[in-house]
Structure 1
Amino acid sequence: MNDKIVQKIESLPPLPKTIIEIEEFRKKPDKELGELLRIIEKDALIVSTLLKIANSAMFGFRTKVEAPSRALNLLGINFTVSIAIGGSIQNLLKASLKPYGITSDDFMKGSNIASSLANIWLSSFEIEHQDDIILASLLQEVGKFVLASIIVSDGKQDEFFAKVEASSVKDAEYQFLQTSTSKVTAQIFRHWKLSDNLINLIEFVDDIANVEEGFKQGVQILDVIRTAASVIEPLSDENVNKALKKAQIYGFDMEILKTSIEDLKNKLVENEEI
């Protein structure tokens, strides 16, 4: 990893105390709504993000959600934890994503769609590290903020985007930065001392041949989700077809995945999210 990326990661501000408390809560075998609510209510940014997402068209609840306690009850513990951690991390990593041809709002929308797909798909079968996979599906692309800031500071924004359009994000990242989003995201989380499971899952999404056997299926799931619900045009026909081809190669039940994607697409169309 080049020096600019390392320096950028090492200069990141520390995680807010609330996120450290939520990460500790996430590791507990028995999780209580009341404890999570007490942690969340101490952080105005998390409360604001939680209510914004709970009231978005993605969920389409019949009445406005005005209290974090109601949002937590409606969204559930795992999804609330993902939103809290994801929103805070995105706030810390503020940078223009123009080199990728998207905005921060596009990024948040794509990340939430990825997390929703993980929730729906993984509810259909047993998988080790399930909670970590769901959180990783939301967070695995945050390295793009660090990479984009370096591309912009180097004045290569237009060249990089041209390569993205002509080839792929992966090719552009390796040509200009000799690394990938997944590697950088893992290094960011290592810097912040987040869970080893989360790091192991994310770090090898572009290098599945070298992942530890115990994490292999989880990494394959993340690759499928990242492909289908890319932050660039999530759930487009092209991205879904690419994801289905990968899932077939990995040996996943194709009908379960197709049904999960269709269920999510229908829900988003009904609520005018795509």
Structure 2
Amino acid sequence: MVTPQQIDIYLQRVPPLPESLQKSLNALEKGNLAAAAKAAASDAGLIGYLKRVVNSAAYGFRNRVNDPAQIFSALGVERAKELLYAYMVSRIAPEKWRYFALSNDDFTHFQTALMHKWEMLVRHESADEKFLSAAAVMSGGLVVADAVFGEHASDVALLRESGDYDLDTILERVSHLRFEQLVAVIAKKWEVDEDVIRLVRLAFGNLSCMEAKGDDTLCRLARLLHLLLFYELSRPIMLEAGANAFISFNPEFATPALETFENVIGIE
């Protein structure tokens, strides 16, 4: 079964930020969209990713956006950061998924929908837009789960047959770690804002809002992101892929934000 040593090996394989992306993020920290676009333009893979996502139906720009400067200008600082982190998640996603029955297109659609709806929720809460990056980082949890369990699918199946366990619980039982901790390690490696990392960890629903240390906004956002993750994982394609077993839903944690979530996302 999965051991802490095997998890360490996986984490060592996670690439650091490439130079072009680091320079782009540094420019965004200074609010310099032109410099950020120029740095990103040297990475063909990054620009290709941005074009696909920005011109998808989720973003709804009236005219197609292709030039890097136009892309960054249209996105703005925090949305651009969000997509740079989403690109890093896409880089560690497998060419062929081993545990979840997903294609890369399936994952991209999931990731894009998660980010789009999360933006609606963050804006509704009038929260700092730096928290937009949380959805991109959290989507990486699914990639981590596939990598960790991909080589041990039969063992995981046996454990799940012995009880109604989600993958997060199984991981904790065999390695004393949860996915929120693994995702936080990767996010720190990518120099994600510490407040965003705290939000992502809370949003897994394993920690109480006491961990927010009196930050009511952080707690509300965590509840909303927890609900959003399960809303997107409940779509038929994700259910059929087995992705709904990624983590368990915590109704006690999420219920205080349910009405807001339903109103903003438009659930009747």
- TM-score bracket for the superposition, by shorter chain length: 0.7 to 0.9
Residue 158 (structure 1) shift = 7.4
Q: Distance in 2 between matches of 1:132 and 1:171?
A: 30
**Residue 106 in 1 paired to residue 109 in 2?**
no
Deviation at 1:26, TM superposition (A): 4.5
Mapped to 2, the partners of 1:200 and 1:249 lie a distance apart of: 20
User: Secondary structure at 2:266's aligned position in 1?
Assistant: helix
Aligned to 2:65: 65
Whole-angstrom distance in 2 between the partners of 1:157 and 1:103? 23
Q: Which residue of 1 aligns with 2:13?
A: 11
Deviations 1:199-253 (A, max 9, x none): 22223333222623234333323222222233865899xx9xx989668633x37
Normalising by structure 1, what TM-score?
A: 0.74
Question: Does the 8 A contact of 1:37 with 1:68 survive in 2?
Answer: yes
Question: Cα distance 1:26–1:94, how it changes in 2: closer, same or farther (>3 A)?
Answer: farther
- Does residue 260 (structure 1) correspond to residue 264 (structure 2)? The answer is yes
Partner AA of 2:131 in structure 1: I
* Deviation for aligned residue 1:102: 2.3
1:186 shift after superposition:
0.7
Q: Which residue of 2 aligns with 1:94?
A: 94
Give the counterpart of 1:180 among 164, 178, 181.
178
- For residues 1-274 of structure 1, the aligned pairs below 5 Å read 2-28=4-30, 31-94=31-94, 96-127=96-127, 130-156=128-154, 159=157, 168-174=166-172, 178-204=176-202, 205-209=204-208, 211-213=211-213, 214=215, 215-230=218-233, 233=236, 249-250=255-256, 252=257, 254=259, 256-262=260-266
- Deviations 1:174-220 (Å, cap 9, x if unpaired)? 45655433221111123344332232222333322262323433332
Give the AA of the match of 1:111.
Q
Which digits, 9 at most, give the CA deviation of each residue in 1:26-74, with x for residues without a partner?
444xx24323222222221111111111222333444433322333333
Counterpart amino acid of residue 107 in structure 1: F
CA distance in 2, matches of 1:173, 1:23: 33
- Give per-residue Cα distances to partners, 1:61-91, cap 9 Å, x unaligned: 4443332233333333322221122113321
State the AA in 2 paired with 1:94. Answer: P
Cα distance in structure 1, aligned partners of 2:199 and 2:145: 20
Q: Is the 8 A contact 1:19 1:84 kept in 2?
A: yes
SS at match of 2:42: coil
Q: Aligned partners of 1:175 and 1:53: how far apart in 2?
A: 37
CA contact (8 A) 2:54 2:65 kept: yes
SS at match of 1:156: helix
Deviation at 1:157, TM superposition (A): 7.7
Q: Does the CA-based 8 Å contact 1:95-1:145 persist in structure 2? A: no
Provide the C-alpha distance between the structure 1 equivalents of 2:76 and 2:238, rounded to a whole number of angstroms: 24
Unaligned runs of 5+ in 2: none
Aligned letter for 1:182? E
User: Equivalents in 2 of 1:172, 1:233: separation in Å?
Assistant: 24
* CA distance in 2: counterparts of 1:113 and 1:34, whole angstroms: 27
The alignment partner of 2:200 has SS state of helix
The residue type paired with residue 206 of structure 1 is G
Give, as a single letter, the amino acid of the residue that structure 1 aligns with 2:233: S
Q: Which runs of 5+ in 1 are unaligned?
A: 266-274
Q: Percent identity?
A: 13
Quick check: 107-116 or 190-199, which moved more? 190-199
Offset at residue 260 of structure 1 (A)? 2.3
Is the 1:208–1:219 contact (alpha carbons within 8 Å) kept by the matching residues of 2? no
Contact 2:122 2:221 in 1 (8 A): no
TM-score by length of 2: 0.76
Tell me the C-alpha RMSD between the 2 structures: 3.6
Whether the 8 Å contact between 1:94 and 1:145 is mirrored in structure 2 is yes
Distance 1:171 1:78, change over 3 A: same
